[in-house]
Amino acid sequence: MNIPLLHRLRDAQGAFVSIAELGDGEAFDSVQTDLDELERFGFVLESHPYRGVAYRGPAARLCPDQIEHELGTRRVGRRIAVWNRVISTNDLAANAAASKANEGLVILAEEQTAGRGRRGRQWVAPTGSSLLMSVLLFPSESLAEAGWLTALGAVAVAEVVAAWTGLDARIKWPNDVRIAGRKIAGILVERGEGAVIGIGLNANLSQADFPTELHETATSLRILMGETVDRSELVRALIRRLDAWYDRGWSLGPDALNPAWRDRSEHLGQMVEVATPSGSHVGRLVDLDLRRGLTLAESDQDGRARQFSIRDVLTLTPCNDGAGPGPNAPIVAP
Ligand code: BTN
């Protein structure tokens, strides 16, 4: 597919561009063939007999050529596969772990028949509405902790969502990305031969696409931005952020991710209840560190600081300030 041609059309921001200009010396017929191919794929173009062609909108389905074109990443996105329907993108990525040549493989699907969320929940999204994406990585030992990989996914998603919406995207422990308390994305890390970071990001869901019980707790880019988004461009942005942070991890070590993860936390400075295998603790969350873990100024210990390793935290639940555990139960993924 002629993606530079697509870019020339898109850059004209809705204005008509003549075929001669679009072709840049190419024969009329060959430009027309390329335009036909773009239209057949689903890009919305408007043709006018004298004025030329205008870009009217992205293809409704994910476009592999558009995603891959001059992506320029080092690891993530070296290979990309787009499927119409799969059981779970995480399964396909895990199956590819037999070969280390698949480091950075990105699996995308328009539909999952048994998408998984955390804690055995389902992850359901109407066909073609979301980003359903899994990335296969072979991290170094120091980057292989599930907590670090989850933070990698969450930071990358939060940055992209913030950049696209202009809103403050926050990470709700441990794997949700939320805007103003509403979940827009979830991360599911599964480790086996390699590590798979699964990401479900609510892109073009309308309010009606969510089950009623999630109307108050979930949102999408479309709801926040008031228009449907180009999911292929969204994938590109996300792959680039994942790659940038993963690369920093390789060159600078796992701590490189810490400031961004900490700054995006929804809970820092807030009262929380931390459940661990040895019991529950309530206090103000005074620090978050991917290596040192959580530091809680415990309420029933006169605010004395206590540290919990990330691996020991079963749940972290926001409380009503000073009033013990509050009504902010963990959000169930759509
Ligand atoms: C959660 O919030 O519980 C995590 C949800 C993760 C969902 C994504 S969708 C793509 C990938 N494939 C899956 O089966 N799950 C993840």
Helix (H), strand (E) at residue 136 = strand 131-137
**Tokens representing 63?**
């476009």
Residue nearest to atom 15 of ligand 1 (CA): 116
Whether residue 174 has its Cβ less than 6 Å from ligand 1 = no
Write down the pLDDT at residue 324.
37
Assess contact for 313 and 275: CB atoms under 8 A: yes
Q: What's the chain's Rg over C-alpha atoms? A: 22
**Tokens representing 273?**
């209840």
Write down the pLDDT at residue 298.
86
Whether residue 150 has its Cβ less than 6 Å from ligand 1 = no
CA 201 to chain centroid, in Å, comes to 5
- Ligand 1: distance of its center to the CA of 63 in Å? 21
User: Mutate which of 188, 197, 202, 220 to test ligand 1's pocket (most atoms within 8 Å of Cβ)?
Assistant: 188
Counting other chains too, the contacts that 283-290 makes at CB distance below 8 Å and 24 or more residues apart are 285/316, 287/262, 288/261, 288/262, 289/258, 289/262, 290/145, 290/147, 290/148, 290/151, 290/254, 290/255, 290/257, 290/258, 290/261
pLDDT tens by residue, 96-155: 999 999 999 999 999 999 999 998 899 999 999 999 999 999 999 999 999 999 999 999
Of 38-42, 109-113, 289-293, 316-320, the poorest mean pLDDT is in 316-320
Residue nearest to atom 16 of ligand 1 (CA): 198
At 325, is the pLDDT very low, low, confident or very high (cuts 50, 70, 90)?
very low
Whether residue 203 has its Cβ less than 6 Å from ligand 1 = no
Contacts for 235 with CB less than 8 Å, ≥ 6 apart: 62, 67, 106, 108, 131, 133
At 28, is the pLDDT very low, low, confident or very high (cuts 50, 70, 90)?
confident
pTM: 0.92
For residue 19, give Cα distances in angstroms to 43, 116, 131, 141. 17, 47, 34, 54
Mean pLDDT across the stretch 41-51? 95
Calpha distance 169→180 (Å, rounded): 8
- Ligand 1: distance of its center to the CA of 127 in Å? 15
Of 77-91, 94-108, 287-301, the poorest mean pLDDT is in 287-301
Calpha distance 244→283 (Å, rounded): 34
Mean pLDDT across the stretch 275-282? 93
Residue nearest to atom 11 of ligand 1 (CA): 198
pLDDT tens by residue, 210-241: 999 988 899 999 999 999 999 999 999 999 99
Nearest Cα residue to 242 out of 117, 139, 112: 139
Write down the pLDDT at residue 322.
44
Q: Would the pLDDT of 176 be above 70?
A: yes
Write down the pLDDT at residue 327.
33
User: Mutate which of 132, 150, 157 to test ligand 1's pocket (most atoms within 8 Å of Cβ)?
Assistant: 132
Whether residue 148 has its Cβ less than 6 Å from ligand 1 = no
- Ligand 1: distance of its center to the CA of 30 in Å? 42
- Ligand 1: distance of its center to the CA of 184 in Å? 12
At 320, is the pLDDT very low, low, confident or very high (cuts 50, 70, 90)?
low
Whether residue 258 has its Cβ less than 6 Å from ligand 1 = no
- Ligand 1: distance of its center to the CA of 39 in Å? 32
- Ligand 1: distance of its center to the CA of 188 in Å? 5
Q: If you average pLDDT over every residue of the chain, what do you get?
A: 92
For residue 320, give Cα distances in angstroms to 4, 171, 286. 53, 18, 16
Q: Would the pLDDT of 259 be above 80?
A: yes
**Tokens representing 187?**
């991360």
Calpha distance 6→45 (Å, rounded): 10
Write down the pLDDT at residue 321.
53
Task: Considering only residues 127 and 320, tell me which one the structure prediction assigns the higher pLDDT.
Answer: 127
User: Mutate which of 87, 90, 113 to test ligand 1's pocket (most atoms within 8 Å of Cβ)?
Assistant: 90
Q: Would the pLDDT of 25 be above 80?
A: no
Whether residue 198 has its Cβ less than 6 Å from ligand 1 = yes
